[in-house]
Amino acid sequence: MLYQFYDLQRSFLTPLAAFTDTGSQLFSHPCSPLAYTPVSRQIAAAYELVHRLGKDYEKPQWGIDSVAIAGRKAAVNPCTAVDKPFCKLVHFECERPAAAGPAPVVLLVAPLSGHHATLLRDTVRSLLPEHDVYVTDWVDARMVPQSEGPFHLNDYVHYIEDFIRLLGPDVHVMSVCQPTVPVLAAVSLMAARGETCLPRSMIMMGGPIDTRQSPTQVNRLATTHAYSWFEDNLIHRVPTRYPGAGRKVYPGFLQHAGFMAMNPDRHLRSHYDFYLHLVRGSNDDAEAHRRFYDEYNAVLDMPAEFYLDTIKTVFQEHQLPLGTWEIDGQRVDPGAIRNVALLTIEGELDDISGLGQTHAALDLCSHIAKDRKQRYTAPNCGHYGIFSGRRWRETICPKIAEFIRQSA
Verify that 95 and 139 share a domain, yes or no: yes
How would residue 56 be classed by pLDDT, with cut points 50, 70 and 90? confident
User: Which residues share a beta bridge with 90?
Assistant: 80, 135
How would residue 375 be classed by pLDDT, with cut points 50, 70 and 90? very high
Report whether 138 contacts 108 (CB < 8 A): no
Is 61 inside a domain boundary?
no
| Percent with pLDDT over 90 in the chain | 76
Which of the two residues, 264 and 319, has the higher pLDDT score?
Answer: 319
At residue 54, the pLDDT reads 83
Report whether 346 contacts 378 (CB < 8 A): yes
At residue 394, the pLDDT reads 95
Is 251 inside a domain boundary?
no
Q: What is the mean pLDDT of residues 144-165?
A: 98
At residue 143, the pLDDT reads 97
Among 55-59, 70-74, 97-101, 394-398, name the most confident range: 394-398
Ramachandran category for residue 172: left, alpha or beta (phi over 0 → left; psi -120 to 50 → alpha): beta
At residue 242, the pLDDT reads 94
Q: Rounded mean pLDDT of the chain?
A: 93
199 has a pLDDT exceeding 90: yes
Q: List, for residues 99-118, the tens digit of each pLDDT value.
A: 777 899 999 999 998 899 99
**Of 296, 318, 349, which residue is a domain's last?**
296
Q: List, for residues 321-334, the tens digit of each pLDDT value.
A: 999 999 999 999 99
Burial group, residue 180, by CB count within 10 angstroms (0-12, 13-18, 19+): buried
Verify that 348 and 401 share a domain, yes or no: yes
Verify that 286 and 345 share a domain, yes or no: no
| Percent with pLDDT over 70 in the chain | 100
Verify that 292 and 307 share a domain, yes or no: no
CA pair distance 110, 196, nearest whole angstrom: 24
Is 238 inside a domain boundary?
no
Q: List, for residues 302-322, the tens digit of each pLDDT value.
A: 999 999 999 999 999 999 999
At residue 120, the pLDDT reads 96
145 has a pLDDT exceeding 80: yes
Mean pLDDT lowest among 79-88, 214-223, 355-364? 214-223
Is 258 inside a domain boundary?
no
Instruction: Give Cβ neighbours of residue 36 (< 8 Å, ≥ 6 apart).
Output: none
pTM: 0.92
Q: What is the mean pLDDT of residues 159-179?
A: 96
Verify that 338 and 194 share a domain, yes or no: yes
12 has a pLDDT exceeding 80: no
At residue 4, the pLDDT reads 85
3-state helix, strand, coil in the chain (%, to 5): 50, 20, 35
Verify that 196 and 271 share a domain, yes or no: no
Give Cα separations from 277 to 44, 284, 294, 321, 354 (angstroms): 12, 9, 17, 48, 34
262 has a pLDDT exceeding 80: no
How would residue 11 be classed by pLDDT, with cut points 50, 70 and 90? confident
DSSP 3-state assignment of 345? strand
98 has a pLDDT exceeding 80: no
Is 240 inside a domain boundary?
no
At residue 106, the pLDDT reads 98
Q: What is the mean pLDDT of residues 271-276?
A: 91
Q: What is the mean pLDDT of residues 385-389?
A: 94
Burial group, residue 68, by CB count within 10 angstroms (0-12, 13-18, 19+): exposed
CATH code where residue 188 lies: 3.40.50.1820
At residue 231, the pLDDT reads 95
At residue 71, the pLDDT reads 84
**Of 296, 318, 343, which residue is a domain's last?**
296
Verify that 119 and 211 share a domain, yes or no: yes
Verify that 180 and 269 share a domain, yes or no: no
Report whether 79 contacts 93 (CB < 8 A): yes
Mean pLDDT lowest among 50-59, 86-95, 124-133? 50-59
Verify that 99 and 17 share a domain, yes or no: no
Is 255 inside a domain boundary?
no
Give me the number of domains the chain comprises: 2
How would residue 3 be classed by pLDDT, with cut points 50, 70 and 90? confident
Report whether 126 contacts 397 (CB < 8 A): yes
Is 254 inside a domain boundary?
no
Verify that 154 and 290 share a domain, yes or no: no
CA–chain centroid gap for 127, Å, is 16
At residue 118, the pLDDT reads 95
At residue 285, the pLDDT reads 92
Is 145 inside a domain boundary?
yes
**Of 254, 272, 296, which residue is a domain's last?**
296
Verify that 77 and 206 share a domain, yes or no: yes
At residue 107, the pLDDT reads 98
Q: List, for residues 15-54, the tens digit of each pLDDT value.
A: 888 888 898 999 998 899 988 988 999 999 999 999 988 8
Verify that 32 and 78 share a domain, yes or no: no
User: What is the span of the domain harbouring residue 344?
Assistant: 66-226+302-407
Q: What is the mean pLDDT of residues 368-384?
A: 96
What stretch of H or E contains 264?
Answer: helix 264-280
